[in-house]
Chain A
Amino acid sequence: MAGLVDVVLGGTFHAAVLFLVAAGLQLVFGVQKIVNLACGSFYALGAYFGITAVSIAISLGMPPLMFFPVLIVAGLAIGLVGFPIERVLRTIYRRDESYQLLITFGLLLMFQDVFRFLWGATPRTMDNVYLAYGTAHVLGVRVPTYNLLVITASLAIALGLGAFLERTKIGRIVRATAENRDMAEGLGIDASKIFALVFTVGCMLGTVGGALVVPSGAASLDMAVELVVESFAVVVIGGLGSMRGALVGALIVGVMRAAAISLMPELEMLSVYLVVVVVLIVRPAGLFGKAAA
Chain B
Amino acid sequence: MSNHSIDIAGPSAVRRSMPRVSGLWVLLGLIAIMTMMPLVASPYALLLMLPFIGYSIALLGFNLLFGTTGLLSFGHAMFLGLGAYTAATLTSKFGVLSFEVLLLTAALVSGLVALVTGALCVRYTRIFFGMLTLAFGMLFHSFLFKFYSITGGDQGMRVLRPLLLGMEWRGGKTAFLTGPFYYYALALFALLSIAMWRISQSPFGLHLRAIRENAGKAAYVGVEIFRMRLAAFVVSAIYGGVGGTILAVTTGLADPELAYWTHSGNLVFMAVLGGSGTFAGPAIGALAFVLLQDFVMSITQYWRFVMGGVLVLLVLFMPQGLSGTIEALANRRRGGR
Contacts and interface: CB of A to CB of B under 8 A. Distances in A.
Contacts of B307: 106, 109
Interface string B128-141: 10111011101100
Contacts of B314: 102, 106
B138 to A, nearest CB: 5
A106 B312 contact: yes
Given A109-B304, A109-B311, A269 B142 contact: yes
Given A97-B72, A107-B308, A268-B146, A113 B262 contact: no
A106 B309 contact: yes
B146 A107 contact: no
B7 to A, nearest CB: 31
Given A109-B305, A240-B127, A268-B142, 11 more contacts: A35-B127, A95-B319, A99-B315, A101-B130, A102-B268, A102-B314, A107-B312, A233-B135, A269-B138, A277-B135, A284-B128
A113 B307 CA distance: 10
Contact of A105 (B123, B145, B269, B316): B269
Contact-residue bracket for chain A = 35 or more
Nearest to A221: B304
Contacts of A284: 123-124, 128
- Tell which of B74, B143, B262, B308 has the most Cβ of chain A within 10 Å: B308
Given A101-B74, A102-B268, A91 B128 contact: no
Interface in B288-324: 301-305, 307-312, 314-316, 319
Say what secondary structure dominates the interface of chain B. helix
Nearest to B74: A101
Interface string A225-269: 100110011001000100000000000000000000000011111
Contacts of B72: 97-98, 101
19 contacts: A35-B127, A92-B315, A92-B316, A97-B127, A97-B130, A98-B272, A103-B316, A105-B265, A106-B314, A107-B312, A110-B308, A110-B309, A116-B304, A117-B305, A269-B142, A277-B132, A277-B136, A277-B139, A284-B123
B147 interface: yes
B126 interface: yes
Nearest to B262: A225
A273 interface: yes
A102 B139 contact: no
Interface residues of B, number: 44
B134 A229 contact: yes
B261 interface: yes
A108 interface: yes
Nearest to B135: A276
A281 interface: yes
Contact of A117 (B134, B302, B310): B302
B138 A116 contact: no
A111 B305 CA distance: 7
A36 B128 CA distance: 14
B45 interface: no
A81 to B, nearest CB: 15
Nearest to A95: B319
Contacts of B135: 232-233, 236, 273, 276-277, 280
A268 B135 CA distance: 14
Contacts of A265: 146
A280 B130 contact: no
B139 A103 contact: no
A57 B138 CA distance: 39
Interface in B66-89: 66, 72, 74
Contacts of A156: none
Contacts of A281: 120
A116 B315 contact: no
Contact of B305 (A91, A113, A228): A113
Nearest to A113: B305
A200 B179 CA distance: 54
A163 interface: no
B146 A110 contact: no
A110 B305 contact: yes
A293 B125 CA distance: 11
A207 interface: no
B68 to A, nearest CB: 14
Nearest to B124: A284
Contacts of B304: 109-110, 112-113, 116
B14 to A, nearest CB: 28
Interface in A113-160: 113-114, 116-117
Task: Give the most central of A101, A116, A228: most B CB within 10 Å.
Answer: A101
B305 A114 contact: yes
